[in-house]
A = this chain, B = another copy of it.
Amino acid sequence: MTAASGNDGISTDELALATRNHGMPLEFLRHDVTPVGAHYVLTHYDVPAVDTDTWRLHVSGAVDTPLSLSLDDIRVRPRLSRTVTMECAGNGRAFLSPRPLSQPWLHEAVGTARWSGCSLADLLAEVGVGHGAVDVVFEGADRGIEGGQAQTYARGLSLDEAARAEVVLADEMNGLPLPPQHGAPLRLVVPGWYGMTSVKWLRSITVTTEPYTGYQNTRSYRWRTRDDDPGTPMSVMRPRALMAPPGIPGFLPRSRFLRPGPVLLEGRAWSGRQSITDVQVRTDDEGPWRRAELEPPDDPYAWWRWTFKWEATPGDHVLSCRATDDRGVVQPLEPEWNVGGYGNHAVQRVAVRVDGA
């Protein structure tokens, strides 16, 4: 992956991605579940046209009983529903300097949805995973050129991770049939992980006895400090808190304006499979960090709501929030640069002007 120089504007190639891929406007942080159309979407290639009537899911490889399933076959199985916060591994990339050239996300590549379908663990038990199985490979219907090679989007996941009880093969989002852009007719949802793991437009599941070495595992989605660094794979989401910017925005730039007096700051926080133990808010860069109120989610894989009562005083302020999880991991103030621009969970800063507007 190449990088733009430090202060370059966004290129037309990056803009072509930014106008296709959808972020969640941060005022949607007020919703427990993100409405369809506001949840982030990152599509590597094109959204494929899949004919639901002829679509099949092929389950094969190191299994006792390979299967080919229709969507009806999926729907008659016992239902599993999970409310899951999902974030793109590249969220925050556009704040890095130099900026890795890819989808230029600011903060918006996140959302929480109710995914319903059947249990992957049950399906793996049904087909009977063979001796020596190590990985499960998920292939979608979306095809393109990346890293100089024509490929179908695919990701491998270790058998241990794939067989976890919370992993969903989802044909519904928020109680409705999966929309095309979210992977219709069927997608994988791996709670706690960055979004690249949750393969959309699922076409095949293959159990392998050798570690999977496909592009999206071994070349992309790795934390690398240099181009020749083999790096380590991205996996579960790092702790992060985001704030719904208070007051009213400018159209351009999107500065924030509010009146003096009491303001309820609110947002959400999440961290892979961990609980959030603390969200702290700072209303000026030199001010103290103070503890926000936390409300746990109904599903442990969904984000936590936080609120903080602020007495806004006239002048310019920079509001920040930071989350700590139950391993004691806390968000950094500055991004950690890496080649792919992944996992930037540095503290959000929201500049506001308090006046009579």
- Complex-state Cα separation, A88 to B36, whole angstroms: 21
Which residues A288-303 have CB closer than 8 A to chain B? Answer: none
**A49 close to B (CB within 8 Å):** yes
Assess the B20–A10 pair: CB atoms within 8 A: no
Residues of B near A22 (CB, < 8 A) are 22, 37
Residues 235-263 of chain A: 1 if any B CB is under 8 Å from the residue's CB, otherwise 0?
00000000001001111111101000000
**A273 close to B (CB within 8 Å):** no
Assess the A252–B17 pair: CB atoms within 8 A: yes
Residue of B nearest to A46 (CB): B27
The count of chain A contact residues (Cβ–Cβ below 8 Å) is 60
**Identical subunits present:** 2
* A312 CB → nearest B CB, Å: 16
Binding site for B on A (CB under 8 A): 4, 8-20, 22-23, 25, 27-28, 30, 35-39, 41, 43-47, 49, 94, 101-102, 104-106, 108, 143-146, 150, 176, 179-182, 245, 248-255, 257, 357
29 residue pairs bridging A and B, Cβ less than 8 Å apart: A10-B11, A10-B14, A15-B18, A15-B104, A15-B106, A16-B252, A17-B254, A19-B105, A20-B25, A20-B108, A22-B22, A25-B43, A25-B181, A27-B47, A28-B47, A28-B180, A30-B49, A35-B179, A35-B180, A36-B36, A37-B41, A37-B181, A45-B251, A46-B248, A102-B252, A143-B248, A144-B248, A144-B251, A145-B251
